[in-house]
Amino acid sequence: MSLYSQRGVSAQKEEVHKATEKLDKGLYPHAFCKIYPDYLTGHSDWVNVMHADGAGTKSILAYLYWKETGDLSVWKGIAQDAVVMNLDDLLCVGITDNLLFSSTIDRNKKLVTGEVLETVINGTQELFDSLKQFGVNIHYLGGETADVGDVVRTIAVNGTMTARWPKNRLVTNEKIQAGDVIVGFSSFGQTVYETEYNSGIGSNGLTSARHDVLSKFYAKEFKESYENSLADEVVYIGPHRLTDTVGAEKHQVGKLLLSPTRTYAPLLNLFFDNYFDAIHGLIHCSGGGQTKCMKYLPGNFRVVKDNLFEPPIIFQLIQKASGSNNREMYQVFNMGHRLELFTHASSAPLFIEAAQKLGIEAQIVGRVEASDKKELILKVDGEEIVY
């Protein structure tokens, strides 16, 4: 059993998928989000989409960093994580404008102060304000903030996003076909709309990252930060404190682990305005990492990814600390790109050039081949991994 499983989490969420398998798949079962008829108005040319997600266990890392350093600003990153994990899923079905957002924040009042709540809430609005200049308009409708110390140890920051959208401007992944190439867009670096280096960690795999990278100091000093029934050998087994620095660039470990999840909203808004018809499919490589695409293929295809990004320092750090093999790393983490676009080979340069202008590295990472079954092949460091 992997360390990930021993900690009570699952990259593939098998039990969740089983619990929901009988639910309506929506109008377009291969689309990245469930899309339903326009129940609000009954208009046949429009659809409704609602999505719920959050920052996950990354909020625990923010709690540790805040307690250790006193730096409140880290909570703005958690606000962004909760928004982007909703927003970028909706982006993958073509929705970029007139979105409604409601936040859900549960906290243990004895441990998490009102200042933290204010920073999360105000940080959410600040993110929405910054996205307006790129034509992405999100309306903050408030939400629920509850003091539930019996339910959460520290704090959980989540949200729900909804939109009404015209059918003729949807990306449903049904156009994905053999012969397509896959353009990957980096999750790391610094875009023109980011203020500092982004490690690329996103908001997935943070349970593994936290326990594999950070030291027993956190188990001893912050027992509220983990499930106390877990075996000691899987709890905070790494070599680092959050304030340690690593690599030639002297990146702080805490900053690497807490880099706010990058949104691709400015990039995709540009794509939809200029190259919409060339987009065959979009995948947000979140939970499930580089295997995420397999769930949304509109038929039996072989996906070959043989030109992936060199994993940035955060994933090298995690893999070294955990001893995880490539198979596990690539199905837990995005490993360097969190957005992939399926298109004709002739169109790929358009998307790559546009991304580079925004400071986002982009490259063809793979291709789609005909097959009698769904299959994913990753070629990494001379190793071929088949899922």
- pLDDT tens by residue, the chain, 387 residues: 566 566 656 555 566 657 777 778 899 999 999 999 999 899 999 999 999 999 999 999 999 999 999 999 999 999 999 999 999 999 999 999 999 999 999 999 999 999 999 999 999 999 999 999 999 999 999 999 999 999 999 999 999 999 999 999 999 999 999 999 999 999 999 999 999 999 999 999 999 999 999 999 999 999 999 999 999 999 999 999 999 999 999 999 999 999 999 999 999 999 999 999 999 999 999 999 999 999 999 999 999 999 999 999 999 999 999 999 999 999 999 999 999 999 999 999 999 999 999 999 999 999 999 999 999 999 999 999 999
Domains of the chain: 3-202+257-386 (3.30.1330.10)
Which residues, including other chains, have CB under 8 Å from residue 326's CB and lie 6 or more apart? 378, 380, 381, 383, 385
Q: What is the pLDDT of residue 24?
A: 83
Interatomic CA distance for residues 309 and 200, integer angstroms: 12
The type of residue at 69 is T
Interatomic CA distance for residues 101 and 4, integer angstroms: 31
For residue 170, report the phi and psi dihedrals to the nearest 5 degrees.
-100, 145
* pTM: predicted TM-score of the whole model, two decimal places: 0.94
For residue 249, report the phi and psi dihedrals to the nearest 5 degrees.
-85, 0
Q: What is the pLDDT of residue 82?
A: 98
96 Rama sector, left if φ>0, alpha if ψ -120 to 50, beta otherwise: alpha
Answer for the pair 347, 375: CB distance below 8 angstroms, yes or no: no
- Taking residue 188's Cβ as centre, other Cβ atoms within 10 Å add up to 27
